[in-house]
Structure 1
């Protein structure tokens, strides 16, 4: 299994996961043209994609899903609540597949486990993707860490988790008051300390690759993030920091 990012941040998010001949995109917050360009950078093209998983309806995750899927006939897996929030109808798009946010399903040999999360969207989920030998968890756009989340994300080989903002930078920044409250709320995004706390309590024994993602360009700084993360890692796994423009290149968990 391997995974990479087309880009990560408030201007657009998309993660690609591949195992064997199965290639899955998680979210697509970029235009079709931009997505194709970013895929090419990773040696892939839209025709390689078996499916798109949707976490929630916010534009930095959803913007390109429908145009990309329509143009290239890619199946899209989405919760019912998220579908309703988008305003589209399932009967208008044959490739839309409604998922139960509490039940796992399979896409061509990759097991997909939706994880319901607290975020200000309609039935938002994150995902853990597993094969017989590997387990990769994605956790962004979540306002707080619950015991359920701690349990589910323990024991991953690869983990992509957001460290969206530094509380001080957020409060001192240019965002209007209502937006500051939204970002910092239990239905907003994880701050650096929350992310570090989660990393410190999960089982890290099997962890090979840790990606810190969805880092705000306005309310965070890479040096502050690194300082928080360095305090809770033991140095036995690689830590990567995702970028808005470049995302990150392929990371390998094991043989394809």
Structure 2
């Protein structure tokens, strides 16, 4: 489903949204392996050449992690579909990069790269602010099924919670604990990626509408949830 965009790129709650983004001190931060692994897994799950985690700042969209377009640090806000996607109340946005599909951004960069598909779910923090997107991007126009939308939304939720966990540890000056949490999450995501590669090879791609495949993927998503639940409890006790 392609969603209708509002009339302007800057939302009414922009001041609060930016305060929330800056509170987490993650925009324009150095790469961290755990976020790289999230985007690598997302690209596998959705059979797309590109996946990214974005953080929408006042004038620039920082890419915290990118798979398939490494070396691209971000884009000016008016050139990134993520800038428009965070405006929507709906959790998923799918769109092409034609000017008439989203008049809020300049699609020149995306079109030059031959991109024709974008789907994302917002990174939403506990106060409701949408600070960025978990997105998958492709060169062939397509849509997402309802099942695919739910999986992408779940992935975005995991990334949002990981950002929250990062903040809890670093704000309490517990960098070693954050490093340990990353290692545990990375081990879980490595196992998930290995399973996804196996399923993709066996089935010539991942079909999330296949009940058996979906069940396996949902179990892996739940496994990451459990690690985050336990780590969040530990972080709250440590603060």
TM value normalised by structure 1: 0.31
Higher share of residues assigned helix: 2
TM value normalised by structure 2: 0.33
